[in-house]
Structure 1
Amino acid sequence: MLARDATPLKRTPFHALHVARGGKMVAFAGYEMPVQFPAGVLREHLHTRSAAGLFDVSHMGQLTLRAKTGKVEDAALALERLVPQDILAVAPGRQRYAQFTNNDGGILDDLMVANFGDHLFLVVNAACKAEDEAHLRAHLSDTCIIDSLSQRGLIALQGPKAESVLAKLGADVAAMRFMDTGPRKIGAFDCFVSRSGYTGEDGFEISVPAEQAEALVSLLLDNPDVLPIGLGARDSLRLEAGLCLYGHDLDTTTTPVEGALEWSVQKSRRSGGARAGGFPGAEKILSQFEKGASRRRVGLRAQGRAPVREGAVLFADSASSEPVGNVTSGGFGPSLNAPVAMGYLPTALAANGAQVFAEVRGQRLPLQVAAMPFVPNTYKR
């Protein structure tokens, strides 16, 4: 299979398993990935909400960041030169959501940062991983050693039965809480396990050496509570959870404040904080914390049954000719049995309950600004 530019697509360690289980393979972020399995997107979505879904996310980038001094605190302070989050405060065995920002305050990528005791472990988005690694090397090579863990697979086990499934393999997971992370033994396999995910459900992300990856996944799929899940249900699950997809809901023109990600920037990095600023775009981002941003990411609920898709233009009323925003993610929410969407609106129109209109096939469909997540999350706190 080739990408649109005729470049051969990469394959994850689970490719043969996907094909054997009837996965419908498509091009995604330079990889050949399953969009769905024979069960279909709807069943895969609902199974994850009720039992346990297994996702191949090996296309994501896995990196380590080590300070040349050997001190993880120095690696954390170095990374703070590139992100607005307090990395120094991430305790060993914990992880934090972060964003790489540019000089205009826009988001280059969003990522997870884990403290493994003597180094940091980073997971970045598939489409950005080459640029992210280059960004780290360009700015942090003076103080840090950056390594790509390209020979590892990455899977996500998500849903209310994820803990019981993993616990049966001897993994010490029952004591883990949301955002706990670190090396764990799963069966005979030495893995990195975090209690996190991209569905809004309780669950785990598991990094495993590529040569052991298929054996581990086969072991998990032997459990009748576990179903393989493709990209289609992954997208509908994260949309219901109100989670951003980089390149759609976030990009280089969007600041963390505009993206409704203020919660991810700790007070210590904001104005008046102990280590305020010092990251790319700090002047603009911190100004928006103080004065507000002109636009904001919001949740949108359709008043009818027709899904409003990415790219739909938003208007303040049914007759206006001037757009006020756009939809960045949208589709049908199987858990809600109703359409849901996310998009950007002027801050003055972004209050929950406000009404706007989306233009879909020449018609103006009413939408209501709604709180997110659309489906309550079930993280184990």
Structure 2
Amino acid sequence: MAEELLRLGLHDLHVALGGKMVPFAGYDMPVQYPAGVMKEHLHTRSAAGLFDVSHMGQVILRPKTSYQDLALAFEALMPVDVLGVAQGRQRYGMFTNETGGILDDLMFANRGDHIFVVVNAACKTADIAHLQAHLSDVAQVIPVLDRGLLALQGPQAEAALARHIPAVAAMRFMDVAILPWQGVDLWISRSGYTGEDGFEISVPDAQLRAFAEALLAEPEVMPIGLGARDSLRLEAGLCLYGHDIDTTTSPVEAGLTWAIQKARRTGGTRAGGFPGETRILQELAEGPERSRVGLRPEGRAPMREHTDLFAPDGTPLGQVTSGGFGPSVNAPIAMGYVATAFAKPGTALEGEVRGKRLPVTVTAMPFQPTTYKR
């Protein structure tokens, strides 16, 4: 028998809105609504889209001794400066393993007396076990099981949300705040995974449907499914865990060196001391053997995940890890890994599609400019 899928708190609302439900990370999730992936994608880029991301893992790390002890212990799990994150701010991070691969990527926020973490759905059980195994001396690791998570994304997200919570207008990219709505606290970050300005909002389960319906009643807001979420993040050049990054991929290969702050690099105040430091620090110094790149196939045929990539002389170079059609750029786009010698934008390669070698050019990312509110 097939494993029974978990249902989101808003499952009935998704069905009522005409959502086409599919299995994703163990959940029954809406992949699209009647408008379709293309319109949902373009609406998010021009107005505001509402995504249900309640399948993600929400975790509170509450210090047993001091916040500094917790920050340093959490920092020891990844090549990211945790101690330097100011109160009311959020940062991107990734757990690494002893060989320098990525166990998961995540967001974490300094909320004054504790750290709030959001992890990927498919990894959340393993991530919580990882946190409990390594932080039990300094922290309570508390999975949040009574709240949903919504993402409101797009250039008109602020206008729509500010009608209900005016204080969000003062937030900037990667700010976090706890703000009231109808007698409950919403945990809000100005962030998302579409390349657009927007917010992620953690809502108590009991108020989740009322809050979602209040946002959907705003003229700018349309419900958006997994299909457009994927095409939006691909245009933004953002990695999808299990596809573009995994336990064999280092943060340096993946082009995530911007997330490794100076303090954690060779010569920094708290350099090293994280799993996989030998490989990661060596790749930072010398460069990796392969690199994640943006790819623009010629013509209209997309190059999907697992498409093999070759040099013009037929030398195998790597594979596509994410690929599809970019509605905003009106062309096929992809990303993947190639030998670093072939990673420079403008390099001509070939991808094998249905037995034919087709031209594809290495290109800079993002494919679509980001619009974060700095």
* 2:135 maps to 1:140: yes
TM-score (norm 2): 0.99
* 2:122 maps to 1:127: yes
Give the Cα–Cα distance (whole angstroms) in 1 for the partners of residues 183 and 318 of structure 2: 51
Give the superposition deviation at 1:182: 2.1
- Stretch deviating more after TM superposition (179-188 or 358-367): 179-188
Q: Where does residue 37 of structure 2 map in the other structure?
A: 41
Which aligned pairs between 1:47-58 and structure 2 lie closer than 5 A? 47-58=43-54
Give the superposition deviation at 1:170: 2.9
Give the superposition deviation at 1:40: 0.4
* 2:183 maps to 1:156: no
1:361 counterpart letter in structure 2: R
Moved over 4 A (4+): none
Task: Give the counterpart of 1:299 among 294, 297, 300.
Answer: 294
* 2:268 maps to 1:261: no
Match of 1:174, SS?
helix
1:63 counterpart letter in structure 2: V
Give the superposition deviation at 1:187: 4.7
- Stretch deviating more after TM superposition (81-90 or 166-175): 166-175
Query: Contact 1:242/1:372 (CA < 8 Å) preserved in 2?
Result: yes
Q: Where does residue 202 of structure 1 map in the other structure?
A: 197
2:146 counterpart letter in structure 1: Q
TM-score (norm 1): 0.97
Give the Cα–Cα distance (whole angstroms) in 1 for the partners of residues 264 and 239 of structure 2: 22
Q: Where does residue 212 of structure 1 map in the other structure?
A: 207
Match of 1:326, SS?
strand
Give the superposition deviation at 1:188: 4.3
- Superposition CA RMSD, Å: 0.9
Give the Cα–Cα distance (whole angstroms) in 2 for the partners of residues 168 and 82 of structure 1: 40
Q: Where does residue 371 of structure 2 map in the other structure?
A: 378
1:285 counterpart letter in structure 2: I
Give the Cα–Cα distance (whole angstroms) in 2 for the partners of residues 190 and 142 of structure 1: 29
Q: Where does residue 16 of structure 1 map in the other structure?
A: 12
Query: Contact 2:165/2:179 (CA < 8 Å) preserved in 1?
Result: no
Match of 1:220, SS?
helix
Give the superposition deviation at 1:294: 0.2
Query: Contact 1:27/1:33 (CA < 8 Å) preserved in 2?
Result: yes
Give the Cα–Cα distance (whole angstroms) in 1 for the partners of residues 336 and 223 of structure 2: 30
- Stretch deviating more after TM superposition (370-379 or 74-83): 74-83
Per-residue CA deviations over 1:232-255 (Å, capped at 9, x if unaligned) read: 000000000000000000000000
Match of 2:71, SS?
helix
Tell me how many residue pairs correspond in the alignment.
374
Which aligned pairs between 1:59-70 and structure 2 lie closer than 5 A? 59-69=55-65
Q: Where does residue 333 of structure 1 map in the other structure?
A: 326
Unaligned 5+ runs, structure 1: none
Which aligned pairs between 1:69-88 and structure 2 lie closer than 5 A? 69=65, 71-88=66-83
Per-residue CA deviations over 1:22-80 (Å, capped at 9, x if unaligned) read: 100000000000000011000000000000000000000000111211x3222111101
Give the superposition deviation at 1:186: 3.5
Give the Cα–Cα distance (whole angstroms) in 2 for the partners of residues 152 and 6 of structure 1: 27
Give the Cα–Cα distance (whole angstroms) in 2 for the partners of residues 170 and 14 of structure 1: 21
Q: In percent, how many aligned pairs have the same letter?
A: 64
Query: Contact 1:189/1:216 (CA < 8 Å) preserved in 2?
Result: no
Match of 1:132, SS?
helix
Match of 2:123, SS?
helix
Per-residue CA deviations over 1:175-215 (Å, capped at 9, x if unaligned) read: 10000002112454410000000000000000011111111
Give the Cα–Cα distance (whole angstroms) in 2 for the partners of residues 275 and 268 of structure 1: 5
Task: Give the counterpart of 2:186 among 187, 191, 203.
Answer: 191
2:192 counterpart letter in structure 1: G
Query: Contact 2:91/2:107 (CA < 8 Å) preserved in 1?
Result: yes
Per-residue CA deviations over 1:134-159 (Å, capped at 9, x if unaligned) read: 00111111211100002110000000
Match of 2:84, SS?
coil
